[in-house]
């Protein structure tokens, strides 16, 4: 039986990855290593944990002995655990460096020691920094602008070091902003849904004109599975979507889904110390492997809004 370790599997993207692999590989054993921070929820894995093929280990990726024990015998390690919210990184940046850099280093060292045959490291388009026009491919220089993206770029430097020095079989994936159910409501889309469910105004940073591309969590999970089968060891793959919206457009779409007037439902709040205006990546490389995005924000928003209506009480 194949054995897969997924770090951060009780979080947003991690739980979609667990669901993807549990569905498509019925003969594999999946171990989730998750510290169960505020961003995680047991209920993200609830239906899956009923199966004895899926096991949740509550622990820290910075714990070397635990990591070494868990990666031992794995056919694949998918490293998704991280501190992921940019706003938090402005006031708790050391936590971001600890989790995202030391945590990644610890997982990689454990994988090196135990000769794991394949590791997929999940990174972000934010490592490229602002891309005001056009889009960048995987060869672009990293130019992070906030403590979160800097910690993710630093993690990538550790990955590069392990590839060059030890030939650890790592593949990196850099994804656009991701959306879907089970996302903690600190991020824009669930924040909008929760605000409207609670009868509050949606807080929008600055003038709301920052632009992001939005990739469905299910599409990212499918991309990761594809990369696990067909990705070239030591390569990096951007994973993107053509869906590009300003924060204002996202909020307006969600107001429409909830049937409320946009003008009465938003408020503008102080912006981040620095807020990248736009990120944009070219994802031809993963397209060549046979992947393309198939779920789009405007087509999915009713389903997502419905999920938050049903589950909003978990976020009180």
Ligand X SMILES: NC(=O)c1ccc[n+]([C@@H]2O[C@H](COP(=O)([O-])OP(=O)(O)OC[C@H]3O[C@@H](n4cnc5c(N)ncnc54)[C@H](O)[C@@H]3O)[C@@H](O)[C@H]2O)c1
State the catalytic residues.
125-126, 148
171 Cβ contact list (under 8 Å, min separation 6)? 118, 119, 120, 121, 227, 228, 231, 232, 233, 234, 235, 236, 237
Choices 32-40, 159-167, 202-210, 264-272 (CB under 6 A): range interacting with ligand X: 32-40
| Of the candidates 233, 189, 234, 193, the residue with the CA atom closest to the CA atom of residue 215 | 189
The most distant pair of C-alpha atoms in the chain lies apart, rounded to whole Å, by 57
Region from 79-87, 139-147, 190-198, 254-262 binding ligand X, contact rule CB under 6 A:
79-87
Does position 62 interact with ligand X (CB under 6 A)? The reply is yes
Question: From CA 48, how far away is CA 29, in angstroms rounded?
Answer: 12
Contact present, 63 and 106 (Cβ < 8 Å): yes
CA nearest to 137, candidates 252, 28, 286, 275: 286
- C-beta closer to ligand X: residue 40 or 223: 40
Element (H, E) at 179: strand 177-179
User: Rounded CA gap, 31 and 26, in Å?
Assistant: 14
- 178 contacts ligand X (rule: CB under 6 A): yes
Residue among 5, 6, 22, 40 that touches ligand X (CB under 6 A): 40
Indicate the residue among 54 and 265 with the shorter CB distance to ligand X: 54
Minimum CB–partner distance for residue 199 and ligand X (Å): 25
φ, ψ dihedrals at 232, nearest 5°: -85, 130
Q: Does 60 bind ligand X (CB under 6 A)?
A: yes
**Closest separation in Å from C-beta 259 to ligand X:** 27
DSSP-derived letter for residue 117 is S
Q: How far apart are CA 255 and CA 153, in angstroms?
A: 35
Is 122 a binding residue for ligand X by CB under 6 A? The answer is yes
When binding is defined by CB under 6 A, the residue of 5, 22, 35, 128 that contacts ligand X is 35
- Are 73 and 3 in contact by the 8 Å Cβ rule? The answer is yes
Cβ-based nearer residue to ligand X, 90 or 262: 90
Q: Which of 78, 80, 194, 221 binds ligand X (CB under 6 A)?
A: 80
CB of 166 to ligand X, least distance (A): 22
152 binds ligand X (CB under 6 A): yes
Q: Which of 10, 86, 110, 127 binds ligand X (CB under 6 A)?
A: 10
- Minimum CB separation of residue 121 from ligand X in Å reads 8
Residue 36 interacting with ligand X (CB under 6 A): yes
User: Does position 154 bind ligand X by CB under 6 A?
Assistant: no
Return the structure tokens found at 154: 């630093």
How many residues interact with ligand X (rule CB under 6 A)?
31
Q: Does 244 bind ligand X (CB under 6 A)?
A: no
């Amino acid at each position: 039986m194949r054995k897969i370790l997924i770090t951060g599997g009780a979080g947003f993207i991690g739980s979609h990855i667990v669901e993807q692999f549990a569905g498509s590989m019925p003969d594999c054993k999946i171990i989730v290593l998750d510290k169960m921070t505020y961003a995680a929820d047991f209920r993200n894995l609830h239906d899956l944990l009923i199966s004895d093929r899926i096991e949740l280990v509550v622990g820290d990726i910075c714990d070397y002995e635990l990591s070494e024990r868990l990666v031992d015998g794995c056919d694949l390690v998918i490293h998704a655990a991280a501190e992921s919210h940019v706003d938090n990184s402005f006031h708790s940046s050391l936590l971001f460096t600890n989790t995202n850099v030391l945590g990644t280093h610890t997982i990689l060292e454990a994988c090196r020691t135990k000769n794991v045959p394949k590791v997929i490291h999940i990174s972000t388009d934010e490592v490229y920094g602002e891309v005001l026009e056009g889009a960048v491919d995987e060869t672009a220089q990293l130019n992070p602008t906030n403590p979160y993206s800097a910690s993710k770029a630093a993690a990538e430097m550790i990955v590069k070091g392990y590839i060059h020095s030890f030939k650890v079989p790592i593949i990196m994936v850099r994804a656009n902003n991701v959306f879907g159910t089970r996302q903690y409501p600190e991020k824009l889309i669930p924040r909008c849904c929760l605000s409207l469910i609670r009868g509050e105004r949606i807080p929008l940073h600055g003038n709301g004109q920052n632009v992001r591309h939005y990739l469905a969590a299910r599409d990212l999970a499918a991309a990761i599975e594809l990369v696990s089968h067909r990705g070239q060891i030591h390569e990096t793959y951007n994973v993107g979507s053509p869906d590009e919206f300003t924060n204002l457009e996202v909020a307006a779409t969600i107001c429409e889904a909830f049937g409320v007037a946009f003008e009465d439902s938003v408020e503008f709040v102080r912006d981040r110390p620095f807020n990248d205006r736009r990120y944009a990546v070219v994802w031809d490389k993963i397209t060549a492997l046979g992947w393309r995005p198939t779920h789009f924000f405007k087509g999915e928003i009713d389903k997502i809004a419905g999920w938050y209506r049903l589950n909003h009480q978990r976020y009180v």
